[in-house]
Amino acid sequence: MHPTQAAFRPLTHRVLTGAGIRYARNVKAANISKRTILTLKDHVATAEGPGRNGIVKSFGDSPLELKMSMPKAAGGKGDGQNPEQLFAMGYASCFLGALQLAAARANKKELAENAKVTANVFLGHPSEPDIDGFGLRVEINVEGCDNDEIIAAAHEFCPYSRALKHGAEVTVHKV
């Protein structure tokens, strides 16, 4: 196995807003805290075939290929994975890591050693009636860690939580 190729790039010209990370205009560098973003160059996934019933492939340290399928509850065959299932798995894993890191930073590592995180992802109509498409709702359940401050710190640190709470930088390119 080769180590993950990563590069750090400064966010000095970007500002985190409620709608996500946006390019700052007319903002002096002294007013922006310097942060970096970790770029995981080998974490790329592609989707091919008939949309939600196609194939997804992930490349990198441990390549993965999955058959996708609409869930039975949504009228599909349910004979493969679905994006919500994969999102829930990633979120649960990421939140657990953030929980354990938050506990370690608070010098209470033992509080999260045996924790279990469950992510329930719901796909349905958006809460705003004027928006076309689907809405996403997520419930995170933390078991085995009763410290509210550590759970809150994990929620603030977890990239999935941050993306859903503050927005994420997304760029769509036509190639």
Query: Would you say 21 and 14 are in contact if contact means Cβ atoms under 8 Å apart?
Result: yes
Q: Quick check: helix, strand or coil at residue 154?
A: helix
| pLDDT over 60 at 90, yes or no | yes
Q: Are both 88 and 173 inside the same structural domain?
A: yes
Q: Are both 119 and 63 inside the same structural domain?
A: no
Domain range for residue 171?
Answer: 83-175
Q: Are both 129 and 75 inside the same structural domain?
A: no
Q: Are both 18 and 91 inside the same structural domain?
A: no
**pTM of the shown model:** 0.73
Q: Are both 28 and 49 inside the same structural domain?
A: no
pLDDT band (50, 70, 90) for residue 7:
very low
CATH assignment of the domain containing 158 = 3.30.300.20
Average pLDDT rounded to a whole number, residues 61-86: 91
For 103-152, how does the pLDDT look when each residue is reduced to its tens digit (9 = 90+)? 999 999 999 999 999 999 988 777 777 777 788 889 999 999 999 999 99
Nearest to 35 by CA among 130, 165, 162, 174: 162
Q: Are both 154 and 166 inside the same structural domain?
A: yes
Name the more confident of 13 and 121. Answer: 121
Q: Are both 58 and 139 inside the same structural domain?
A: no
Q: Where are the alpha helices (DSSP H) in the chain?
A: 83-105, 148-157, 159-166
Q: Are both 66 and 112 inside the same structural domain?
A: no
